[in-house]
Chain A
Amino acid sequence: MLYTDPRSVIRLDGGSLVRVFVNCGLREQQQPLHKRIRRLERLVWWIMLDKARKIWKLLEGQRLRYAGATAALIVASCFLYLAPLVPQITIDGVIARDPERASPFVKRMVELLGGQSFVADNLWLPCVLILGITGIAGLFTYFRGRLSAKACETIIRDVRDRVYDQLQHLSCSYFDKTETGDLIQRCTSDVDTMRNFLSMQIVEIGRAMVMLLVPIPLMLAIDVPMTIVSVLLIPIVSGFSFVFFIKVKHAFKESDEAEGAMTTVVQENLTGIRVVRAFARQEYECEKFEQKADAHRRLDYRLYYILAWFWSSSDLLCFTQRGLVVGAGAYWLATGRLQVGEYFYFITAVNMFIWPVRMMGRILTDLGKALVAFDRLNEILDAPRETMPTPDETPEVIQGEIEFANVTFSHVTSKEPVLHDISFRVEQGKTLALVGQSGSGKSTIVNLLLRFYDYQHGSIRLDGRELKHIDRQFIRSQSSVVMQEPFLYSKTLRENLVIGRPAAGEDEMMEATAVAAVHESIIDFDDGYDTMVGERGVMLSGGQRQRVALARALLADPAVLILDDALSAVDAETEDMILTALRTRRGRHTTIVIAHRLSTLLHADEILVLHHGRVVQRGTHGQLLGQKGLYRRLWHIQTSSSAASDDAIVPGTTTSQAAENAPA
């Protein structure tokens, strides 16, 4: 199977890839070895090609810039290697006063400059030449940096924007099954790794290649044996570092893991600090931490130790290469085969290309990290978006007539349906109330109506149109929902309020906040409506957040208004005020209310009592009170208690107005 379409393997991690190899080997033992190897080769090529293709695609739009950067790099390197030629020529052709021994090339160059005696009298000329050549090299180096930076930053901005856009368009079920922390990490540190790859690694690899390739013809032109000596150890240097970093990969990983374990201990200790104190276990915890921190120290030190060996031995190789040039050059210099200037040139050139070559191994191993990050990002980018079918006919405006007919729904992750065979109908401007314990499916009805999830069986109609055929965004733009734990953006209160209708005037906003009974609380803040919400501003209490969200929903003046346990953190008295105010708006919205306090639902046109995803009772408050059943029992319990209480303070779940405003 895996053989036939190698691309299916690509998503597997390294470990499983190895398993695949092994399995292939076992399963197809009868095949001759060379055939198997060829297949494996093809597999590896597929993977590499696929990666290359993906990276190539990533560079889209910036390829020209990268090409420009490469060209600038080549030009810059040429000039950079030209620079030491100037002292070489000057020394051999002019200063050495031994023009006969100089190579024909040097002689011609000196002639070009105006002859030996002319240059000797005007030694500022080579000085200016060196400066000019290095300056040009510098200029092109700058161009290269500029172009590749522009290309890289543009791509990264694009990637960030794409990821952000994608996140917002993924379906709700995607977020149900992924962890927030993991997602955030992909969006931030994986993007950073990619950026590193694009801005540093690609460029460095290119630089090492160019730096190595450009001087070779020049060196060959000067002296062939000397050139061979100059690059003798290059394959060993680059091979050594590459093999080395592959070999010690596990040491890096172990050190990372030890750090992770240590961080976990700190995290757990600080989260459970009350428990630690309550049992006076500080010493025990310190020991536990020290143990982990010490393990981290040891592994980290081992890493340093390994790296010490690596850098010193690879430096030894590089120095040996340089030493070979110095030594062989000295010998040939002594025998007269080489000129002083030429000798100088080789020493300088080796110094220029040996260090980038040494870095290659490190970069190539880091490449693996970048590819992993790239894959992780692609997992987000390739995830299916919420489908947005082009609607057959988009209605101008929604009136707000809702009908559920035999709707059954279950989440992708489980077979057990959350809703069974739900049917109801709400006329435009009427109010439907949903009652039931948590998990009975109330919120799911709301989620289906807003097309957060798509229903599998039955039909939902909005103004007589099948919901599946109406654009999601259109439905949402025509309805407003207030959730039990509403989310406010870290903006000012005003900005949060007018999100639903940016064109709303000041007085309309005030009216909405008045109905939601939050106006007074807002003007109590130092900055009033311009108070920042969230981390960088004030932290609102649950009740305040709910009321701001309600005002936001009301300001939007939607056709469908959904209150999903939206006043649970608001005290009874304030809730009454809000409900009374809302009643004056009756008929403006089709309303769906979910609430625990039955008094909230008194005036609903129809009440559905849900239990385990089924409707067990339905009717108006009066009708339900007349029936035997859950509703009546709940009602009696609640009324008998509220008779005894005024604006009572309830322990636990319900936060009172007093508590909200009390200093924490």
Chain B
Amino acid sequence: MSDSQSTNTMRDEEYRGRLDLKLWGRIFGHTRPYLKQVIGLGGSGILLAGVETVTPSLVGLVIDEASMNGMTGRLVTYGVLYAAMLLFMCYLIWYFIVMAGQVVTGVGFDLRRKGFERLQELSFSYYDRHSVGWLVSRLTSDCSKLSSLMPWFCLDICWGLSLLCGITTAMLFRNWQLALMVLAIVPPLCIVTAFFQMRLLGTSRNMRRTNSMITSSFNEAIMGIRTTKALVREEANLDEFQVLSTKMHDYSFRNALHSAAYLPMVITLGSLGVGLALWRGGFLYDSAAAARTLGVSDAEGTLTLGTLIAFMQYAALFYMPIQELAQRFTDVQNAQAAAERVQSLLDTVPEIQDTPEVLAAIASSNGNGDSSMPLDGGDEVIKSIEFRNVSFWYKEGESVLDNFNFRVHAGQTIALVGATGGGKSTIVSLAARFYEPCSGEVLISGVDYRERSLHWLQSNLGVVLQAPHLFSGTIRDNIRYGRLEATDAQVEEAARMVNAHEFIMEMDEGYGSEVGEGGTLLSTGQRQLVSLARAVLADPQIFIMDEATSSVDTETERLIQSAIEAVLCGRISFVIAHRLSTIQRADVILVIEAGRITEQGSHEELMNKRGRYYTLYTRQFSREREASVLESSENGRSA
């Protein structure tokens, strides 16, 4: 499955369909590394069933022995046997929980790791279609659901089936007539169980769906609070919410009713088995006793009180394995949507990856050298980047770039200007090979970059985005992200280069200060400076900057400006530019509109043309002056 086709799974959160055996086969395939544990689980399930089958019989034997022969040595033996069985059972319980723990945590870990690694490879088009929150819950709740389902499924299937077989065989051996009598309750037990489990499956699905609607209602109530107040919608909203909460009430109530009815029903059926055993068994015992008094020992009729009691215990036990089996199958049904989502993530093939030839080249060149970088044997220095007849679209028929051509040489800065949605970011993403052209090619030093290593190209990138993303950790960690082996001194040097050193030193912990999740403990300007330092430390050959438009104070802006100049020096730089200073000093300015270059040239050339660029420039010029007027009046006031 290509990663562009998995969109439909996103909407279809709730899978409603038949059990997909092929899918489950593949999901259970993930337990292969834990085959030993799974076998252990199955084995302990069978042994457990065995012990549970023997216990009622043993109690029966005890009864017969005690009531007929009084206190004997055999009774003591039985006692010891019973104690040994109980101990064994407790050991089995300990054993299967430990085994299940190994499988649950192991498979969960494996699924998560595979999923995470796959996410690192998937192209951005996948991320465009799936929200971060959605992806996170695939790796967390879906993986937990699946991994905790599997071992218990294995255990209970083995246990349930062998217990059913065991009880049936034990009864048939002891007395086949009585056994058939008791077994008569099995078909109705199965029918009742199937009926209720189906109902429960339906209501619990409805509950989940309604529950997620309730969650989004709460979300809406909080996000839209001012609008609600302004429109005086409180009552109307509550009315609508009450419809939902009543629906939830109804579904939950119905669900509870089904479970409230199910258990008494199967227990009553079980008691019917007990009653039947008593009726038929009493009769058999009676005739056996009569035969005994007559001195006739008839094998057909041998029935002791102990056997009778054992039968009654078996009959009462019958519903348990059936109920458990049904429960496990319901679990599987309920988890099918999760299974599908996780498996489809693992099956998604990254759209952008190294070709087999490149992989072979990497393998051979890595064999020679000891470079940690996966070099593909090609030229390491980037001399130029060229777009040749590049077209690109996210959706067929809605072209974002159309037959796009241009060329940039080492040391040049390219400014991209134009309206939002015109295709500026797309050009940059194509240059970084975050996306690949739909037609045409991007050449690096004259070679199609699809013939080069993806990792090599992206190791040579430095990217600063409009909303800079930092990882939680210290400032030092974040700067070092650009080059992991950099020393503290090098980190500091990079920070000095982009004028970040001063503000960092002013913080309580200096370079050791925490930035918070997503960098929230720093201001936007500070985050930009740190991310610039990070890019500088990486010392990339290609530098990409989506220039921030968010307003930062003048002082920080001045710092950022000079920092940017330091960074751009001597590299191939793509800048999505808004600030005049950046635009003016660019070597080439491209005006991008509707996926085409409408104007191209240096600042002077384009200004003389008095075209689109001139308009944009003057508009921006007034914007910056306006800002400076507001700022200066502020300064004038505070002075």
Contacts and interface: CB of A to CB of B under 8 A. Distances in A.
Contact of A319 (B69, B86, B228, B551): B86
B474 interface: no
A42 interface: no
Interface in A625-664: 630, 633-634, 637-638, 640-641, 644-646, 648-653, 655-656, 658-660, 662-664
Contacts of B45: none
A516 to B, nearest CB: 16
Interface string A153-181: 11011001100110111101001000010
A95 B285 contact: yes
B440 to A, nearest CB: 19
B216 A490 contact: yes
Contacts of B259: 145
A267 B59 contact: no
A487 B217 CA distance: 14
Interface string A536-563: 0000000000000000000010000000
A153 B253 contact: yes
A333 B309 CA distance: 14
B267 A153 contact: no
Interface string A88-132: 001100111100000000000000000000001001101111110
Q: Which of B72, B106, B268 has the most CB of A within 10 A?
A: B268
B145 to A, nearest CB: 13
Contacts of B417: 651
A165 B221 CA distance: 9
Interface in A294-328: 294, 296-298, 300-301, 303-305, 307-309, 311-313, 315-316, 319-320, 322-323, 326-327
A303 B106 CA distance: 14
Contact of B249 (A153, A262, A269, A289): A153
Given A267-B132, A319-B86, A83 B271 contact: yes
Given A305-B101, A340-B63, A120 B282 contact: yes
A130 B594 CA distance: 83
Contacts of B274: 87, 130
A577 interface: no
Interface in B50-96: 59, 62-63, 65-67, 69-72, 75, 78-79, 82-83, 86-87, 89-91, 93-95
A472 to B, nearest CB: 8
If over half of B's interface residues share one DSSP class (helix, strand or loop), that class is named, otherwise mixed; here it is helix
A199 interface: yes
Nearest to A664: B421
Interface string A136-162: 011101101110011011101100110
B419 to A, nearest CB: 4
B97 A312 contact: yes
B225 A334 contact: no
A270 B135 CA distance: 8
A95 B308 contact: yes
Contact of A268 (B83, B420, B517): B517
Given A120-B286, A142-B260, A315-B93, A656 B279 contact: no
A43 interface: no
Contacts of A656: 419-420
Given A95-B286, A146-B257, A305-B98, A168 B59 contact: no
B275 A130 contact: yes
Interface in B253-286: 253, 256-257, 259-261, 263-265, 267-268, 270-272, 274-276, 278-280, 282-283, 285-286
Contacts of B268: 131, 134-135, 138
Contacts of A313: 90
Interface string B228-244: 11111110111001100
Interface string A505-520: 0000000000000000
A452 B289 CA distance: 90
Q: B65, B112, B419 — which one has the most chain A CB atoms within 10 A of its CB?
A: B419
A634 B90 CA distance: 84
Contact of B463 (A278, A307, A641, A650): A278
Interface in B104-142: 104-106, 108-109, 112-113, 116-117, 119-121, 124, 127, 132, 135-136, 139-140
Contacts of A87: 274, 278, 309, 312
B227 A486 contact: yes
B445 interface: no
A612 B241 contact: no
Nearest to A119: B282
Interface in A452-480: 452, 472-473, 476-477, 479-480
Contacts of A282: 120-121
A348 to B, nearest CB: 8
A320 B86 contact: yes
B539 to A, nearest CB: 11
A156 B517 contact: no
B90 A304 contact: no
Given A134-B271, A651-B578, A312 B421 contact: no
A12 interface: no
B90 A168 contact: no
Contacts of B455: 280
B471 A649 contact: no
Contacts of A150: 253
A72 B67 CA distance: 38
A168 B228 contact: yes
B437 interface: no
A303 B100 CA distance: 12
Interface in A578-630: 611-612, 630
A220 B262 CA distance: 32
A301 B101 contact: yes
Interface stretch (B27-35, B158-166, B627-635): B627-635
B104 A139 contact: no
A141 B264 contact: yes
A31 interface: no
B248 A126 contact: no
B614 interface: yes
Interface stretch (B326-334, B383-391, B503-511, B616-624): B616-624
Interface stretch (A182-190, A394-402, A423-431): A182-190
A307 B622 contact: no
A659 B419 contact: yes
Nearest to A320: B86
A268 B249 contact: no
Contacts of B97: 304, 307-308, 311-312
A340 B91 CA distance: 31
B267 A126 contact: no
B223 A183 contact: no
A343 interface: yes
Given A123-B282, A612-B637, A641-B621, A330 B66 contact: yes
B544 interface: yes
Contact of B264 (A128, A142, A473): A142
A279 interface: yes
B481 interface: yes
A648 B615 contact: yes
Contact of A274 (B98, B121, B237, B463): B463
Nearest to A260: B140
B183 to A, nearest CB: 16
Interface string B180-199: 00000000000000000000
B502 interface: no
Given A279-B481, A301-B102, 17 more contacts: A127-B275, A131-B268, A134-B271, A139-B264, A142-B261, A146-B260, A160-B214, A161-B242, A263-B140, A264-B472, A271-B469, A279-B459, A301-B105, A308-B94, A330-B79, A452-B226, A660-B421
25 contacts: A86-B278, A157-B249, A160-B241, A164-B218, A183-B222, A188-B218, A263-B140, A266-B139, A269-B120, A275-B531, A278-B463, A286-B120, A294-B109, A323-B83, A333-B63, A335-B71, A452-B229, A483-B226, A612-B634, A640-B618, A645-B615, A649-B616, A652-B420, A656-B420, A662-B422
- In the complex, the 5 A-B pairs of residues with the closest C-beta atoms, listed nearest first: A304-B101, A145-B260, A138-B264, A149-B256, A127-B275
